[in-house]
Structure 1
Amino acid sequence: MPDNATPVSRTMPAFNRSQHHATRPGLRLAISLILVLQALCPAAVKAGGVDAAGRVIPLSNGLNVLSLTAAPMPAQAFLAHRDNANAHGFDVLTIYIEAPTGPGSKPQWQLVPVFDARDEKRQGLPRGEHLTLNVSGGADCLLHDVRLLAPTANADATLILADRELGDSFASPAPVTFRFFELKKNSEGMPGRPVYYFEFAQERRAAKAYCDVGDALQAEIGAGPDRPDER
C-alpha cells in the first residue's frame, strides 16, 4: 500500500440490536391478536366481516317462516323445485316480508327482490333486479346456491349467493365467487325500489377451486348446508 493511501476499514458495521429487539414485541403482539381473532371468530375472519357461523336459516321445500329484520317483522321464504326430467332440475327461492307500503298504510305481503346493478349488463335484467333465486347444478355438484343469514340484534339479514364457473364439466372443480347482499328499507320512497330489498354489498373469490359451491360456503365462510335433509 502506498504511504499516502487511506487505510480501508475491514470492520463490519455495528448491528443495532436494540432496534432489532424493539420491533419484536410489536410483531409478537400483532401475531397474537390475529391468532386470538381467528380462534374466537373464524367465520368473521374468513368472510371479510360477515360472521356466518350459527346464522344460516334452514330452508325446506315449501313455505318457510323466518325473520329478516333486527326488529322482528313477519317474513317468509318459499322454496319450490323445478324438475327437468334429468340431472339438472333446480330449486327456486322467493322471499317475502309483511310490511306497510307507507306511513299509515295497512301491512301487506311484499316481495323482497335482490339487486345487483352489474347484472343489468351481464344478464339483461332491468336494474339488475332478481325476483327469484335459483339453486342449480348437476348430479355431482351444485354450481349456484344461496344462504340466508339470520338477523342479529344490531343488523338485518344477510344474503349470500355462491356461483361456480362451469369449467371443464359439472363434476370438475372451478373458481367460485361469493356475493354478499344487505337488506335495505326504501325509507325515502326511491322510485324503482320496493319497500324492502337486498342490495349488493361486496364480492370475493374463493381461495381455491371447488366442485360444489356448498363445500366452498362451508369451508370459507362457515355457512353450512341450509337444506340438510336434501344433501
Structure 2
Amino acid sequence: MKWMSIFFFLFWVSPLKAEIIELEYGVNALDLDGDGIAEQVIKTWRENFNAHGYKGYLFIGEENGVSNTITYLSPEKKIHRDMMYSSERAECTVQDYFLLQKEGRVELVRALIPFGQKKVHFHYFKLMRNKEGIPGDPHRYWMAYKNKTSQYDHCDVIRAMKLEGLR
C-alpha cells in the first residue's frame, strides 16, 4: 500500500514538464522562437455538417519584411505542409496539434491515434531556421525531434495530451 501511495504522488502530483498554450479561433500573436517578435498562429474551424468538422492551423512569421509561412515537416513523408489539420470523429478527436510552453521555449506536438489503434502517438517538434538557404525549403519550419507513445488506451487525443503528453 505504501508503494501505491508513492506512485500516486509521483505520477499525479509531480509537476508537469510543459504547459499547453491555449489558442483562440482566429489570429493569435505568439513569440514562437524567443526572438522578441510575435509570429501569427491562425486557428480555424471547418464545419462539414456530418459530425466530422475539423480544425486548421497556419503559422506565419516575418522574414526580411515579408510574411512567410512556417511549415510543418511531416515526419512520415519528410514533406513540408503549409497547414495542419485535426481529425475528428463523432465522439473523439483522433488527431490534433498543440503548442507547449516548455523550459522557456515553444514546441509543437502532434497527437495522433492511428486507425484501428487506441494508443496515442505524440510527435514533438522544434522550430528550425533554414540558415543554409537550402533551395525549396522555407525560412522556418517545425521539425520532429522526439516521439512517444501513450501508456494507456485513449479515444480522444485532447484528453490524452493532458493526461500523458505533458509529462
Normalised TM-score (structure 1)? 0.62
Question: How far, CA to CA, are the matches of 1:152 and 1:220 in structure 2?
Answer: 18
Once residues 208 and 216 of structure 1 are traced to their aligned partners in structure 2, the CA distance between those partners, rounded to angstroms, is 9
Partner of 1:179: 123
Q: Does 1:113 align with 2:71?
A: yes
2:94 is the alignment partner of 1:140: no
The equivalences for 1:61-80 within 5 A come to 61-80=25-44
What are the within-5 Å matches in structure 2 for residues 57-206 of structure 1?
Answer: 57-100=21-64, 107-119=65-77, 127-150=78-101, 152-153=103-104, 155=105, 157-167=106-116, 174-206=118-150
Structure-2-length-normalised TM-score? 0.84
Tell me the alpha carbon deviations over residues 41-88 of structure 1, each in whole angstroms, 9 at most, x when there is no partner: 643xxxxxxx32x3x221111111111012211211111111111100
Deviation readout 1:78-103 (Å, 9 max, x if unpaired): 11111111100111111111222xxx
Alpha-carbon distance change, 66 to 151 in structure 1, aligned in 2, over 3 angstroms: farther
Q: How big is each residue's C-alpha offset from its partner over 1:122-164, in whole Å with a ceiling of 9 and x where there is no partner?
A: xxxxx422211112211211001111123754x4x21000001
1:24-53 Cα deviation digits (max 9, x unpaired): xxxxxxxxxxxx98799643xxxxxxx32x
Q: How far, CA to CA, are the matches of 2:96 and 2:12 in structure 1? A: 27
| Residue type of the alignment partner of 1:180 | Y
Amino acid aligned to 2:54: F
Q: Is the contact between residue 182 and residue 198 of structure 1 (CA under 8 Å) also seen in structure 2?
A: yes
Q: Which amino acid aligns with 2:80?
A: E
Shift of 1:178: 0.4
Equivalent AA in structure 2 for residue 141 of structure 1 = C
Kindly indicate whether the alpha-carbon contact (under 8 Å) linking 1:90 and 1:136 is maintained by their aligned counterparts in 2.
Answer: yes
Larger helix fraction of residues: 1
- Give the 3-state SS of the residue equivalent to 1:60 in structure 2: coil
Gaps of 5+ in 2: 1-8
Task: Indicate the structure with greater strand content.
Answer: 2
Partners of 1:69 and 1:130 lie apart in 2 by 19
- Whose radius of gyration is greater, 1 or 2? 1
Q: What is the rounded CA distance, in whole Å, between the counterparts of 2:15 and 2:62 in structure 1?
A: 34
Query: For structure 1, which runs of at least 5 residues remain unmatched after alignment?
Result: 1-35, 44-50, 101-106, 120-126, 168-172, 224-231
Q: Is the 8 A contact 2:122 2:165 kept in 1?
A: no
Q: What do you get for the CA RMSD once the two structures are aligned? A: 2.6
State the percentage of identical aligned residues.
26
